[in-house]
Amino acid sequence: MTKDSESKNNSASRTQYDGSTIMLLALMNNTDWRRRPLTIESMIFDRYKKQRHTFMSERHAITSGSDPNLNTDFLNALNDRNTTQTYFGAQSLNLNDKIRTRVVYFILDGLRFDAIQTNPSLKALLTSTWFASDSLLLKMSTQFPTVSVPNWQSLITGARPSLHGRVGNDDLTPYTFDSIFTSVMSVGMKNGLSGDGWWSILLNGHLTPFYGDGTSPTLTHNFGDAFYTHGHSDRNKDIAYNQRFHAAINSQTVVRRSNGSMDIIQFDYDLFLSYYGDIDGESHSFGPQSSQTQSAIDDKVMFVREGINAITTLDAMTQTRTVFIITSDHGHVNAGGHGGDAHVLMTVPLIVYVKDSQLASAKNLLPVYSTFDTVDIATTIAGLLGAPVPRQSEGTFISPLISALVPASKWHHLYFDLFKQKQSLVKALLKQWNQSSLESQYHSLLADAMEKNINITVLNNNINALSTLIEVSKTHRITHIMMRNFLFGLVIGIFGILALCIVFHRSTFLNFYALLPLRGLLLNRRFTKNMAEDKSVSTYVQRVHRTFFIFALVIIGLWWLLMMILLLVIFANIYRPTDEWRWQLTLFNSAHDAYVLIVGICVFGSFLVTVLIALTVWLVFSLKNMTIWLSSKQVTKSLVLSPTASLYYLSLYVTFLFTMNAILFHLSQSFHCLWLPFIRRVTIITPMTLNLRFQALTISFMMMPPMLSLMAINILIRNHLFRQFPIPQFHEHKECQTTRFHILANQCEHDE
C-alpha cells in the first residue's frame, strides 16, 4: 500500500473512532457534550439567541458587515481543491520524514503589545531560560476595525476585513472564506478548537469532531464586546475553556494502521486553537492597566505555560514537534475599549515557541523595527504544517519562522503555492470589479505559464508585487464606490430636505417663503399675491419667521455645546474616566455604554432643549428693543404674538432644524455604504470612513430624544392654542384665511 493511501486510511480510521472515544469520555465525565441541559435559563438563552440572530440576519445592526467582496462563484472557484491539488498534491507536504509537526494556536483576546513589559508574569515567561532561547517575539499590526470577530476571521483566513466584509460582532454566520482549518482538513490533517461558543458558529463545517469543540454544557457562550458591562468578567469561562483544552490534550484516539495493528494516540491534532477572553472582559470593565486585567493576564500565562509543558511532554514520547503561537486580536485604550485606530489598539504581540529550536537566533535576520501583519499568521501556519495557503489570504510568510522551522528543500514548494494563490485571488478581484486596465497592465505577472521551477527569489518578488496589486485594486474599487455613493447620497439628501420642507410648510404654521428673498421667482408668486393685500402684514410675517429661525439656530448650537460638555463631564469623567478621550469607534463600542449615553441624552437633552426654548421666548419678550423691532408701527394690534404662540413657533423651527440635522448627518455617511437599496450596500473599511460613519450615526441618533420631546411640546401648545382660538372662527376671518400666521396672533377680533 502506498504512503498516500495509508495516510488516507489512517485519517479515516481516526475519524471513525473519534465518535465512540468522545462518547466514552463523555460518559466517564457524566456529561452530555452534544447538548446543553434543558433548564429555564437555557430556554431563555435559546429564545434570546434565535431572536438576536433573526434581528442580525436582517442587517439592522450598525456594525454588521456587508457580504464578502467576492461573490459566491468566485469563492467557489478559488476554494476548488482540485485546482490546488494539480500542483500541490492531495496530501500535506511532508516537512520531516521522522518528526510530525503540529501547531497549537493561542488567541488571548484584548492583549496589548506593551503587556510584554508591564505584566510581570508574561515578562517572566518571555525571559525565562527554558523559553527565551527557543522563542521569537514579533510586533504585529492588527486589522481595522479593531473588533473581535473581524480580526478572528483575519487570524484564520489571512483576509483583511476590507475583503471578507465583516466589520463588527453582530453578523454571526459561518465563514465562507477558506481558512487554515479547511486547508489542513483538505490534506488529511485533523484540527480542533477550545474556547468561546462563537467559534463553533463561525467555523461551522470547518472542524473535525473532537471533545473540546465548544459544545459541552460547561462551556457558556460569550456575546462579545457589544455586551460588556462594568464589573464583567470571563474568568470562569476561561477556566472552562482551559478545562476543555486539557480534556483535548488528554483525549485518546484509536488509529488503525495499514498492517491491521491499532495504536492509541493522545492529543491527535495537527492544528489546535485555544481561545481565552477574560483579558478583554477585564480591560473593558476596568482598563488594560488595572489590577483586574493584570490578574487575568497572569491566569492566561499560567494556562499557556501548563499547556506547553503538557504537550511538550507528549511530544517527547511521540516524535512530534509542536509550534506554539500566542497572539491577540486587538489591544485596548487606557480607558478600556477598542474599535478605533489608536496605536495601542493596532499593535499586538506574536510569541512563537518551539522546544529545542534556538528560534531566538532568527531575530538576528530581521531588520530593525520590523513589523508584520496579523494576516501573515494564517499564511505562515499553513506553511509550517505543509498545507496549502488559505485561498483568500492577503498575507505572506513570516520569513524568519519559515527559514528557521521549515527545511530549505521545501521552501520552493511553499512559495510556489503562495504565488499561485495570490495570482488566482488577483485575477478574481480584477474580473469581479471589472478592472481590465489593471489586468492588461500586469499581464505578465498574471500569466498562467509561470514555470514551477522558477527561482525562489523571483517567486518572492512576484508575490510581493501581487500583494501590492491587491491593495491597488481595492483602492480603485473604494474610490469608485465612494464617488458613486456620495453622488447617490447627495441626490437623496436634496430630495429628502425638499420633502421635509414641504411637509413642514403644508402641515404646520411654518412659512418658508417668508424666510427667503424669493419674491421675483415663480415659486414665491402665490405668496407675493397673498401678501400684497397687506404690506405691513408681509413685513411682520417675514420678521417673525426670520427672527425665530435665527433663534432656533442659536438654540441648536447651544444645545450641542452644552450636550458635549455634559458628555465629557458625565460620560468621560464620571462614568468612565479617561485621560485620552478620542471620539471614534473606541469610545462607544460597548452597547452598555451606548445605553448610558442615550439615557443621559434623553434626560438632560430633552430638559435642556425645553429650557433653552423657554428662555429664548422669555428673552424676546423681555428685551424692549426686540419687541419694538418686531412690532413695527404699521402692524395692527391684532397681529402681535403672545408668548405661547412664540413658544410654538420657536419649537416648530427647532424641531424642523433638528430633523434636518438628523437627515444630513445620517446621509453624510452614505459614502461608506448605501442603506437604500440594500442590494447596493458595499462596505468600505478604512479608519477614516468607519470613524466618520460612526460619528455621523451617533450624532443622528443623539438628536432623536430632543426631537421627540419637541414634538410633544408642539402638540401640547397646538392643542392649547386651538382650544383658545377655535378653527371655524378663523376660517371666517379674511386675513386668517390668507395667511396662516394670524392663527397664532394674540388677539384676532372677528369683524361682523
CB neighbour list of residue 247: distance below 8 Å, 6 or more residues apart: 25, 211, 212
Residue 70 lies in a domain: no
List, for residues 368-396, the tens digit of each pLDDT value: 566 789 999 999 999 999 999 999 999 99
3-state secondary structure of 619: helix
Structural Rg of the chain based on CA atoms: 33
List, for residues 232-256, the tens digit of each pLDDT value: 567 777 787 788 888 888 877 666 5
List, for residues 297-326, the tens digit of each pLDDT value: 999 999 999 999 999 999 988 889 999 999
Give the separation between CA 306 and CA 291, rounded to whole angstroms.
23
pLDDT > 80? residue 108: yes
CATH at 177: 3.40.720.10
3-state secondary structure of 449: coil
Last residue of a domain, one of 415, 433, 449: 415
pLDDT band at 559; cut points 50, 70, 90: confident
Kindly list the distances between the CA atom of residue 664 and the CA atoms of 66, 489, 496, 585, 660, in Å, as whole numbers in the listed order: 23, 10, 9, 20, 6
Does residue 508 contact residue 717 with C-beta atoms inside 8 Å? no
Say what the alpha-carbon torsion angle 485, 491, 496, 499 is, to the nearest 10 degrees.
Answer: -160
pTM given for the model: 0.74
Nearest to 70 by CA among 508, 513, 473: 473
Cis ω for the linkage preceding 174 (within 30 of 0): no
pLDDT > 50? residue 676: no
What's the burial of 277, exposed, middle or buried (CB within 10 Å: 0-12/13-18/19+)? Answer: buried
Q: What is the pLDDT of residue 40?
A: 38
Number of CB atoms found within 10 A of residue 599's CB: 11
Last residue of a domain, one of 392, 415, 438: 415
**Rounded mean pLDDT of 486-493?**
78
Give the separation between CA 255 and CA 12, rounded to whole angstroms.
9
Give the separation between CA 460 and CA 419, rounded to whole angstroms.
8
Last residue of a domain, one of 369, 388, 415: 415
Residue 689 lies in a domain: yes
Grid coordinates standing for 459?
517567486
Give the separation between CA 318 and CA 153, rounded to whole angstroms.
32
List, for residues 710-752, the tens digit of each pLDDT value: 767 767 766 666 665 544 433 333 333 344 444 444 433 333 3
Give the separation between CA 561 and CA 554, rounded to whole angstroms.
11
Q: What is the pLDDT of residue 65?
A: 42
Grid coordinates standing for 295?
490578574
**Phi, psi (5° rounding) for residue 176?**
-100, -15
Give the separation between CA 295 and CA 279, rounded to whole angstroms.
9
Does residue 131 contact residue 124 with C-beta atoms inside 8 Å? no
Residue 420 lies in a domain: no
**Phi, psi (5° rounding) for residue 409?**
-65, -15
Task: Look at the chain and report how many structural domains it folds into.
Answer: 2
- Helix residue spans in 261-348 (DSSP H): 278-286, 291-318, 343-346
3-state secondary structure of 107: strand
439 Cα distance to chain centroid: 32
Number of CB atoms found within 10 A of residue 520's CB: 9
pLDDT > 70? residue 612: yes
**Phi, psi (5° rounding) for residue 197?**
-65, -20
Greater confidence, 484 or 157?
157
Grid coordinates standing for 48?
434570546
Q: Domain limits at 643? A: 547-744
Range of 20-24, 238-242, 679-683 with top mean pLDDT = 238-242
Instruction: Identify the bridge partners of residue 193 per DSSP, sorted by sequence position.
Output: 273
Residue 487 lies in a domain: no
Give the separation between CA 11 and CA 189, rounded to whole angstroms.
7
Give the separation between CA 38 and CA 20, rounded to whole angstroms.
24
Q: What is the pLDDT of residue 621?
A: 61
pLDDT > 70? residue 669: no
pLDDT > 80? residue 179: yes
Residue 499 lies in a domain: no
List, for residues 48-92, the tens digit of each pLDDT value: 334 333 333 333 333 344 456 777 888 888 888 888 877 887 777
Residue 537 lies in a domain: no
Least confident interval from 340-344, 551-555, 583-587, 620-624: 583-587
Q: What is the pLDDT of residue 738?
A: 40
Residue 71 lies in a domain: no
Residue 481 lies in a domain: no
State the amino acid at position 332 in one-letter form.
H
